[in-house]
Amino acid sequence: MATAEAKIHLSAFTNEPFVDFSKPENRKGMEDALKKVASEFGREYPMYIGGQKVITTAKRTSANPSHPSQVLGVFQEAAADHANQAVEAAYKAFDSWKQVPAEKRVEILLRASDIIRKRKFELSAWICYEVGKSWAEADADTAETIDFLEFYCREMLRLAGPHPVVPMKGEKNYLKYIPLGVGAVIPPWNFPAAIAAGMTAASLVTGNTVVLKPSEESPLVAAKVVETFYEAGVPKEALNFLTGPGETVGDALVKNPKTRFIAFTGSKEVGLLISENASRKVPGQLWIKRTVLEMGGKDSIIVDEEGDLDSAVEGVAQAAFGYQGQKCSACSRAIVSEKVYDSFVGKLVERAKKISVGPSEDPANYMGPVVSETALQTIFGYIDLGKKEGKLVLGGERAPGDGYFVPPTVIVDVDPKARIAQEEVFGPVLAVIKARDFDHALEIANNTEFGLTGAVYSKNPAKLEKAQEAFHVGNLYLNRKCTGAMVGAHPFGGFNMSGTDSKTGGKDYLLLFLQGKTVAEKVAN
């Protein structure tokens, strides 16, 4: 049997290059995009259910965290009834979308990738405004969006099959992968384009239909992704778009009997609630719901006395304070050998003092705002706690400006079991912990309920080999920072309370959205 791969010939996957903003033409391209999208501030965005625009009486707005009084867009406030209507619509559309050949689905999503690539400055500008990412961080989000589309399209061609199995005498047999059904896609705000597009694309390219409900903090970027998918040719019936609170809309999506799977990225608490609710069979439900859960982290970088101290300082600074520490992969704990502890702390503080904080549309700022007033208050609550549990040596006060600005904050001499060393802060707050030796450092690194990312700086091959075996994280990095996973090269997902180890951007990921069907036909000898 011919495979779908033979019908479409694509080059090998390569990651989308990052934009070099030192080049005048790129700098001007981003400046022009920021002006262009600013002219669209205040526009109202509809929901889409069953191919129809839906407007509600209740509204919610999306604001710029660099300038909170600035309204970027107006959105509909969905209720549980809207969620159930969207699932019904997606369930109905599944019968036709699943019949679309894999090659055609791939063509549509590759078209979406091309559109985003041509307009990457515009998408990056929206990301910059809505969630406070710097130019470089926003560009990385957009590049990852393209990468997910390109990678998953190639993976779908590989999986489209049918696939040979062990031959059986007297039979003609094979395996094929088929879609699951209706997926509830619930992405976070911190990668508002890449994760929203990635989970949605993985669902659609495999033949499933989707109800996408973005975070309340980033509906605008998600709306832009949806508009792009529609423009590329994704049927509106196959991709339903809802905006509203997770506790009502998201809850209804998870509990609906016709929801077949839930793809979620967000906090541990919400992920566990989704897992619990999805596990309960409700009347009319014909399947065990599948959950793809990417949750939190309390990620550590171990700095060994045999490591390059300057490289370690740079890696920790970038991983702890890049995008204001608002990444599940961010370094929130530096575990440092007592032999270099004082030197490391001194160098790190001096490095972090050089970080500029301010509005994210200004390219001079390495750090922008945290995403909301709620996030700001939560972070300062942890800083107050950290002052009691350790010694504050940098930061700790709100940075100037009307936005939600938190400067790099370093708390040293933290006990490995302190709350500031155990709980996810999701902000630019680093706890520094002293380790007696390398074994002690590994013990501390593994002492949380999470297991997402980690890194080790050491020139000792035996220690690096030990870390590869003993450091219990889904993504381990040696002599580099613990953030910046690249699609294809670093399949991403963690252990324990960090989720179901989904390995986004890897060759296992699309299998989470498919089920295998074996076909065997008796034939004459």
> CB under 8 Å to 169, separation ≥6 — which residues?
525
- Closest C-alpha to 459, from 353, 246, 303, 245: 303
Six-digit token pair at 461?
Answer: 């091959």
Whole-angstrom distance, CA of residue 47 vs CA of residue 182? 18
Q: Which helix (H) or strand (E) holds 403?
A: none
Per DSSP, the residues of 60-102 read EEEEETTEEEEEEEEEE---HHHHHHHHHHHHHHHHHHTTS-H
Identity of the amino acid at 242 = L
Would you name the residues annotated as active-site residues?
294, 328
Whole-angstrom distance, CA of residue 369 vs CA of residue 359? 7
> CB under 8 Å to 295, separation ≥6 — which residues?
265, 266, 267, 268, 271, 272, 328, 494, 497, 498, 499
- Closest C-alpha to 433, from 411, 450, 448: 411
Sign of CA dihedral 52, 87, 250, 189: negative
Identity of the amino acid at 216 = E
Cβ-contact 307, 457 below 8 angstroms: yes
N-terminal to C-terminal alpha carbon distance within the chain:
20
3-state SS track over 131-199: HCCCHHHHHHHHHHHHHHHHHHHHHHHHHCCCEECCCCCCEEEEEEEEECCEEEEECCCCCCCHHHHHH
Whole-angstrom distance, CA of residue 425 vs CA of residue 347? 23
Identity of the amino acid at 408 = P
